[in-house]
Amino acid sequence: MTDLNKLTIAAARDALRKGEVTSAELTEACLGAVEGAGALNAFVHDTSDLARDQAKAADERIKGGDAPAMCGIPLGIKDLFCTKGVVSQAASGILEGFKPEYESTVTQNLFDAGAVMLGKLNMDEFAMGSSNETSVYGNAVNPWKAGGQELTPGGSSGGSASAVAADLCLAATGTDTGGSIRQPAAFTGITGIKPTYGRCSRWGIVAFASSLDQAGPMTKDVRDAAIMLEAMCGHDPKDSTSADIPVPDFEAMLTGDIKGKVIGIPQEYRMDGMPEEIEKLWADGTAMLKDAGAEIRDISLPHTKYALPAYYVIAPAEASSNLARYDGVRYGHRAKLEQGDGISEMYEKTRAEGFGHEVQRRVMVGTYVLSAGFYDAYYNRARKVRTLIKRDFEQVFDQGIDAILTPATPSPAFGLGEMAEADPVQMYLNDVFTVTVNLAGLPGISVPAGLDKQGLPLGLQLIGRPWEEGDLLNTAYALEQAAGFVAKPEKWW
Amino acid sequence: MSIDKETAAKVAKLARIRVEDDALPALAEEFNNILGFIEQLSEVDVEGVEPMTSVTPMRLKRREDRVTEGGMPEKVLSNAPDAREGFFAVPKVVE
């Protein structure tokens, strides 16, 4: 077999079980691809020794005959996941050199299933960003190019998206607070699912906005997303918001049959100034689902417009609270102090040196909206609007809608540095189609569905009912089959 | 509602982030941009709407109140920038 790094999880699993390939061979192929892809800056911490040990153990287990689907599969892990004894920095200077003494539940679940960790992946600092340009490690780069220009892989899971799209690993973990799995997946032509809030344990994932954060897989196709998601989820007593409900066999639910399913098309997602190509992709996707036997219905989600402003109150508020722990005392960076400096100077200097600009800005915005006199006007009002956004979805689901189809992003991948001079709100607009899903706690998946005129991938998003990831994945599978997206970036790195 | 330099300085202080004086006007302007965007929320009729406390309608699990793990001071301190004699060390906080 050649190009083992290009395999899907499903193909690799089948080949491993038949004894046609070993995990050691898969792992070497991926490590070789990673080594040759420095220009993408996707992998930022090397764990090749650990990977080789894990692959060896996986091969033993596969020989034993009862290995789970993820056994022996080489993955990249987003730097937001705490991995025992391996540097975990959330792409921030303030966690310089931090080596957790514990393993996040999601990575532990994957390792228990026999998965192999190739290394840690680049991301926006503390998952705050939509372009992977706020990382202490520097920009991750999209393997897709347009007219010779280097493009963003999206963010915050930019390294994950770049690594999967460039076949440096078979799949990667991501996390999604406002769109951080789905937007980079769309920008790089891969699949990414954010499950229902509570499906994946948040324990050991560096916290950004705890009421919105969810982990999920970023994969080469929908089947792989089903396989890997199942391995990541499950109840965890260490996360009080983790759902104690059974995890179904998601892959077994991929029949491709969506006859009689009702797909909602929300009118509020038709934005002014939306590029024609996105509009057309959305119409094409609608037609594909209709051809596959689904009923298409126009729906209204009237509070959509207020999702982004509500998010930019709630997420910074939670971040300002979560990031209060970075004080230079227990881990990471501490500023050098001058004679006479006390503990306040230590906090202030440490946080000024350790946090990047975007993180500082969001922490301070969060501090402001939570401060005396503004708490009601901003934070409480945003939480009320969040209730209304969730109610919009509940009402359409009550009317019999099974899934909602929208564009994943308002544009294809843009150039690195292109937004440097724009005001921060312009960057925030990247999440306009994805952020509602986090606010309502719903599952959402981004599926590559076409190319724009420059040859860059575009994604469609499907939003499902809570806890019905299996049904959502099946609709995504039907869309994937109809769209037939097979394009890959031309190798330049 | 407009944020001036003094308010920006106060917010930075509350957030325990050192911001130099000459950076405050630009910071205040950024806050104003973001708050201008957030201001749209005031258009929404939220009369009688409960603020969301939990996105999934689930009662948090209860557990017995007992020690589940502990007794690992070396591990707790292993990442500290300054740890001495089993404690985190910080600059003097009382005169």
Q: Which of B64, B63, B4 is nearest to B35 (CA)?
A: B4
Q: 16-35 in B: which are within 8 Å (CB) of A?
A: 16-19, 27, 30-31, 33-35
Q: What are phi and psi of B26, to 5 degrees?
A: -65, -40
**pLDDT tier for residue A157 given thresholds of 50, 70 and 90:** very high
ipTM: 0.96
**pLDDT for res A395:** 98
Mean pLDDT of A422-433: 88
The alpha helices in A67-207, defined as continuous H runs, are: 105-112, 158-165, 182-188
Q: A306, B41: Cβ pair inside 8 Å?
A: yes
Residues A188 and A181: their CA atoms lie apart, in Å, by 11
User: Does residue A101 surpass a pLDDT of 80?
Assistant: yes
In the sheet with A444-451, reading across from the earlier edge strand, the strands are A43-46, A116-121, A74-78, A171-176, A214-219, A191-194, A444-451, A457-464, A403-407, A262-266, A295-299
**3-state DSSP assignment of residue A76:** strand
Instruction: Examine the pLDDT at A2 and tell me if it is beyond 80.
Output: no
Of B42, B43, B92, the CB nearest to A342: B92
Which of B11, B76, B91 is facing A346, going by the closest CB pair? B91
Put simply, the answer to whether A313 touches B53 (Cβ < 8 Å) is no
Ramachandran angles phi, psi of A211, nearest 5°: -85, -5
- pLDDT at residue B1, as a whole number: 57
Span A130-150, average pLDDT: 96
Active-site residue flag, A180 = yes
Give yes or no: A131 in active site: no
| Residue reference for tokens 């994969």 | A219
Query: Which residue among A344, A347, A388 sits closest to B49, beta carbon to beta carbon?
Result: A388
Tokens describing residue B5: 């330099």
- Chain A residues whose CB is inside 8 A of the B50 CB are 384, 387
Residue from B17, B37, B68, B93 whose CB has the most chain A CBs within 10 Å, to mutate: B17
Whether the bond into A156 is cis, omega within 30 of 0: yes
pTM of the model: 0.97
Mean pLDDT along residues A36-55: 98
> Is residue A425 predicted with pLDDT exceeding 90?
no
Mutate to test the interface with B, among A200, A211, A384 (most CBs of B within 10 A): A384
Tell me what the mean pLDDT of segment A82-108 comes to.
98
Residue A410: is its pLDDT beyond 80?
yes
d(CA A81, CA A203): 9
- For residue B66, give how far its alpha carbon lies from the nearest alpha carbon of chain A (Å): 14
The region that residue A385 occupies, defined by phi over 0 for left and psi between -120 and 50 for alpha, beta otherwise, is alpha
Check CB contact under 8 Å for B34 and A425.
yes
Residue type, B38: I
CA atoms of A375 and A433, how far apart (whole Å) = 27
Chain B residues 33-62 with a CB less than 8 Å from chain A: 33-35, 37-44, 46, 49-56, 58, 60-61
Residue contact A349–B18, C-beta within 8 A: yes
| Non-local CB neighbours of A308 within 8 Å, separated by 6+ positions | A428, A429, A431, A432, A435, B37
Helix (H) or strand (E) holding B92: none
Quote the CA–CA distance of A329 and A337 in Å, as a whole number: 13
The pLDDT of A42-65, averaged and rounded, is 97
Cβ–Cβ gap B41/A387 under 8 Å: no
Mean pLDDT over all residues of chain A?
97
Spatial CA neighbour of A191 closest among A219, A214, A154: A219
Please tell me the predicted confidence (pLDDT) of residue A66. Answer: 84
Give A392's Cβ-side CA count (13 Å radius): 25
- Give tens-digit pLDDT for A265-293: 999 999 888 889 999 999 999 999 999 99
Residue A161's φ and ψ, nearest 5 degrees, are -65, -45
Which pair of tokens denotes residue A199? Answer: 């499906």
Q: What's the whole-number mean pLDDT along residues B45-60?
A: 91
Cβ–Cβ < 8 Å for A443, A464: yes
* Residues in CB range of A27: below 8 A, 6 or more apart: A51, A52, A54, A55, A74, A116, A118
Tell me: the pLDDT tens digits for A222-250?
A: 999 999 999 999 999 999 999 999 999 99
**How far is the C-alpha of A194 from the C-alpha of A444, rounded, in Å?**
5
Picking from B11, B34, B61, the nearest residue to A240 by CB comes out as: B61
CB contact under 8 A, A386 and B52: yes
Contact assignment for B44 to A440 by CB distance below 8 Å: no
Contacts of A320 in chain B (CB under 8 A): 15
User: Strand A444-451 and strand A149-150: pairing?
Assistant: unpaired
Residue closest to A191 by CA, chosen among A230, A158, A163, A218? A218
- Residue A1 pLDDT grade (very low, low, confident, very high; cuts 50, 70, 90): low
**Greater model confidence, B86 or A1:** B86
pLDDT digits (tens, 9 = 90+) for A189-210: 999 999 999 999 999 999 999 9
In chain B, what residues touch A439 (CB-CB under 8 Å)?
55
Q: Which amino acid is at A297?
A: R
Decide if pLDDT at B94 tops 90. no
Q: Catalytic: which of A92, A131, A135, A156?
A: A156
B33 → closest Cβ in A329, A390, A424: A424
Cβ–Cβ gap B52/A424 under 8 Å: no
Measured distance CA(A282)–CA(A277) in Å, rounded: 9
Nearest to B30 by CA among A422, A353, A125: A422
Token duo for residue B85: 């004699």
Kindly determine whether residue A364 and residue B60, on different chains, have CB atoms separated by under 8 Å.
no
CA distances from B5 to A135, A354, A481, B9, B23 (A): 28, 23, 56, 6, 9
| Per-residue confidence band for B95, with pLDDT thresholds at 50, 70 and 90 | low
Question: How far out from the chain centre does Cα A290 lie?
Answer: 28
Q: Count Cβ–Cβ pairs < 8 Å, chain A vs chain B.
A: 165
Element (H, E) at A403: strand A403-407
Q: Does B4 touch chain A (CB under 8 A)?
A: no
Chain B residue numbers with beta carbons less than 8 Å from the beta carbon of A347 are: 16
Mean pLDDT check: name the lowest of A156-165, A288-297, B66-75: B66-75
Is-contact A222 A476, C-beta < 8 A?
A: yes
Question: What is the predicted pLDDT for the residue at A335?
Answer: 97
Residue A35: which pLDDT band, with cuts at 50, 70 and 90?
very high
Task: Answer for the pair A151, A39: CB distance below 8 angstroms, yes or no.
Answer: no
pLDDT tens track for A450-460: 999 999 999 99
pLDDT in tens, B3-29: 999 999 999 999 999 999 999 999 999
Please give the full DSSP string across A417-459, using - where no structure is assigned.
Answer: TTTTTS-HHHHHGGGTTTHHHHHTT--EEEEEEEE-TTS-EEE
Reference A45, options A78, A74, A92; nearest CA is A78
Q: List the single residue in B with minimal CA-CA distance to A369.
A: B35
Answer yes or no: do A369 and B38 touch at CB < 8 A: yes
Mean pLDDT of A141-170: 97
Encoding tokens for residue A22?
């070993």
> In the predicted model, what is the mean pLDDT of residues A377-402?
98
Domain boundaries, chain B: 5-41
Inspect the interface and report whether the beta carbons of B15 and A364 lie closer than 8 Å: yes
